[in-house]
Amino acid sequence: MNLDDLLALVKTLREECPWDRVQTLESMKGKLIEEPYELIDAIEKSDIDAIVEELGDIIFLAFFLAKILEEKGQTTLEHIISSTINKYKEKHPHVFAERDFKDEKQVLQFWHESKEDIFTGIPIILPALLAAKVIQERASRVGFDWPSHDGPLEKIKEELSELDEIADEKHKEEMGDLLFACVNLARHLDIDPEEALRHANKKFVRRFRGILKRLEEQGKNIESVSLEEMDRLWDDIKEDE
């Protein structure tokens, strides 16, 4: 089977499946957000079968959306493909033209110099931690950055102090500043904040499930035990890891 078979499948589904037939660009936005996260989850688990499956879902979605646009007479798959090829050839003049870049840093510099401004192309819908990291990286490339991680670390201390001192109505703004500073520290430590928080989320869920399991083994209900007892179980589970 090849891409022609996939195109034929998409065409058949649009014509014959009641659900696929009524889908629009708007109705498919949820799937477009969901599928990349499922692929990331498969990559983090090193599950090759799942990676293949999720990549297939993303490729299918691309063809499916292209078919919707074709039906509306707004573009064609051929135009999408040719535009994409031209775009990436223009982004790689060191491969397809006479430009000479000595390393990946010069390639990145060329890409960002071609943007309208340093923040062009950052999607509003990006997860906030990832968006903060990208924004900070863009600002850093033009020299607006601390020379080391000491700067964002001090900023975190400053924001914590302000959060403790300000009125309630300012908490949301100061909390945002604190999170932004935490992302900056992660960036300086060469840590992906999204990945770090995902890891922390998984760790919390794993340990809390451990509390539930131990309470169940003791014949206890979590709603009937004190916070102090849960804390003791948490510390035991942490030491056992």
Long-range pairs for 68-75: beta carbons < 8 A, 24 or more residues apart = 68/14, 68/23, 68/24, 68/25, 68/28, 69/25, 71/14
Task: Tell me the domain boundaries of the chain.
Answer: 3-75, 115-191, 195-240
Pair of tokens at residue 101: 């870049």
What distances in angstroms separate CA 123 from CA 111, 128, 135, one per listed residue?
A: 17, 10, 11
State in words which class domain 115-191 has.
mainly alpha
State in words which class domain 3-75 has.
mainly alpha
Q: For the segment 124-152, what is each residue's pLDDT rounded down to a tens digit?
A: 888 899 999 999 998 998 889 999 999 99
Model's pTM, two decimal places?
0.69
Predicted local distance difference test score (pLDDT) of residue 169: 73
What's the chain's Rg over C-alpha atoms? 24
Nearest CA to 112 out of 138, 93, 85, 135 is that of 138
Query: 18 CB contacts (<8 Å, ≥6 apart)?
Result: none
Average pLDDT, the chain: 91
Q: For the segment 155-214, what is each residue's pLDDT rounded down to a tens digit?
A: 999 999 888 887 677 788 889 999 999 999 999 999 999 889 999 999 999 999 999 999
Predicted local distance difference test score (pLDDT) of residue 43: 94
Burial 19-29 (b: 16+ CB within 10 A, else e): eeeebeeeeee
Classify 115 as helix, strand or coil: coil
Among the ranges given (38-42, 106-110, 209-213), the one the predictor scored with the smallest mean pLDDT? 106-110
Question: Distance (Å, rounded) from C-alpha 166 to C-alpha 181?
Answer: 18
Predicted local distance difference test score (pLDDT) of residue 5: 94
The reply to whether 115-191 shares the fold of 3-75 is yes
